[in-house]
Amino acid sequence: MNKKDPNYAVKVEQAIAKKYGDAAVVNPKSGWDDEKEKEYLEQLKDAYLADAETEDLDKEEIHGVFIPSKLLKEESKRSCTTCKTYSFKSKDDVYMTKFDCCWDCYIQFVEGREERWKKGWRPNK
């Protein structure tokens, strides 16, 4: 088919209808009327109000500010209980989880003495 043919769009539409059926070429606006528009807007309004209600229920007040619960997490265990430093280092993650101390404190106080550390021994401050 030649694209300069003025009936090209009509022929393409007819080919689509022949291959996929008449429902494939129906204009979506043809089945839409004012009643369906009102019903759709009402459903949209109800969905918005339901979402707003659940969002208000999921907020917690912290220092006078409401924060969504999904943003709140348990306290971060990034501070070493021994030296009180806050760590962003990835190598500290294992030691924070297993021994509740940073890598430096592990090397200085725990390495080779894991049993004593697990029993509760901590260095004097």
Contact residues for 81 (Cβ-Cβ < 8 A; gap 6+): 100, 101, 122
Domain boundary among 50, 71, 92: 71
53 and 64 both lie in a single domain: yes
> Which range of residues forms the domain containing residue 112?
74-125
Residue 3, domain member (yes or no) = no
Q: Is the domain of 57 the same as that of 93?
A: no
Domain edge (last residue) among 26, 46, 71 = 71
> Does 65 share its domain with 85?
no
C-beta neighbour count of 109 within 10 angstroms = 18
| Same-domain status, 33 and 67 | yes
Contacts of 69 (CB under 8 A, 6+ apart): 58, 59, 60
Residue spans of the chain under pLDDT 70: 1-3, 54-57, 72-77, 125
Q: Is residue 2 part of a domain?
A: no
Residue owning tokens 């619960």: 69
The total domain count for the chain is 2
pLDDT (0 to 100) of residue 112 = 87
Q: What pLDDT, on the 0 to 100 scale, is given for residue 77?
A: 63
End of a domain among 26, 44, 71? 71
What confidence score (pLDDT) does residue 42 get?
95
- Which helix (DSSP H) or strand (DSSP E) does residue 97 occupy? helix 92-99
Residue 75 has a pLDDT of 59
Same domain, 13 and 66: yes
Q: Positive or negative, the Cα torsion across 40, 42, 46, 52? A: positive
Question: Based on the domain organization, do 79 and 123 belong to the same domain?
Answer: yes
The reply to whether 1 falls in a domain is no
Query: Are residues 14 and 65 located together in one domain of the fold?
Result: yes
Phi and psi at 65, nearest 5°, equal -120, 135
Residues 64 and 86 in one domain: no
